[in-house]
Amino acid sequence: MRKSITFYGLTLSLPMLVWQVLFFLAPLIFLVALSFWTVQNFRMVPDLNPDNWTRMLGRGVFWQAYFRTFLLSTSAAIVISVLAFPCAYAVAFKLSETARRWAIFLMVIPFFTSYLVRVYSWQIFLSDNGIINALLAKVGLGPFGMLNSVFGVMVGYATLSLPLVVLLQLFSLIFVDRTLIEAAHNLRCGRLRTVFEVVIPAAKVGLVIAALFCFILTFGDFVSPLYLGGGDPPTLSILITDTTKSGQQWPRAAVIALTMIATLLAVAFATVSFAYRERGR
């Protein structure tokens, strides 16, 4: 392969680099600068003032939102992973090749449907006189207040991330060495025990990464907490949209955004090192 820098090579490789540096990297770096700007007379003024940071990080509301968001996303990552696993397991091990292909195709479809429309649809299901309560009333139960609750938020989070979690789990389960499972069965290892002591350890990296993606997706989502969870108390992403849309307090929104990025990086780093730990043994 020729390696020298040519006009041909640059024409093909530079557009992506230029575009992402200009419109992806630069905005993120600008966000860091912006978090030190000040707002005077409703106008943003370039500055190097740590005031936004001390003010935001010194607020009870901010930390309340922070821990609420963190707790919600952690619970979502765990609950949705647990709910997704039997589905991914069944598709990987119990379905025929054709059925599996169809299942994967069907799981991809939700990525290309409007998340907003699906959330609106869940409002129809979950509201006090919605579909589920109407059905429950027929058997003499309810009504249950499902909208504007943590349950509502979780339904929304599952709508957002369940298909992705199932797919990621599925792709790691498909590559589990089947002879390992057969060996366990030949050694009279029970079904459940095989799942917990053979299948899950063998697919560990994929399962952990799936949970991580669930955390990342739900951590940044503002639609479910707002329209299914009621938005009160707010999550960090709701704080960002409120702070940005309600005027010129962009520097403070930038502080929230940067705190979120730092958290995501820390969580991603911790999770990935956990996923790959003990692999060298």
Q: Contact at 8 Å (CB) between 41 and 204?
A: no
Q: Which residue number, 23 or 278, has a Cβ lying nearer to other proteins?
A: 23
Within 10 Å of residue 206's Cβ, how many Cβ atoms?
A: 20
Q: Which of residues 5-24 bind other proteins (CB under 8 A)?
A: 6, 8-9, 11-17, 19-21, 23-24
| Alpha-carbon span 131 to 125, nearest angstrom | 5
Within 10 Å of residue 281's Cβ, how many Cβ atoms?
A: 4
Q: Which residue number, 168 or 223, has a Cβ lying nearer to other proteins?
A: 223
Q: Give me the 102-131 binding string for other proteins, x by CB under 8 A, dash otherwise.
A: -x-xxxxxx-xxxxxxxxxxx-xx---xxx
Q: Which residue number, 62 or 219, has a Cβ lying nearer to other proteins?
A: 219
Confirm or reject binding of residue 221 to other proteins (CB under 8 A). Answer: yes
Q: Give me the 75-94 binding string for other proteins, x by CB under 8 A, dash otherwise.
A: --------xx-xx-xxx-xx
Residue 44: is it exposed, middle or buried by C-beta count within 10 angstroms (0-12/13-18/19+)? middle
| Alpha-carbon span 199 to 36, nearest angstrom | 50
Q: Which residue number, 161 or 172, has a Cβ lying nearer to other proteins?
A: 161
Within 10 Å of residue 163's Cβ, how many Cβ atoms?
A: 17
Q: Give me the 163-202 binding string for other proteins, x by CB under 8 A, dash otherwise.
A: x--x-----------x--xx--xx-x-xx--x--------
Q: Which tokens sit at 17?
A: 């680099």
Of 146, 168, 199, 257, the residue at the interface with other proteins (CB under 8 A) is 257
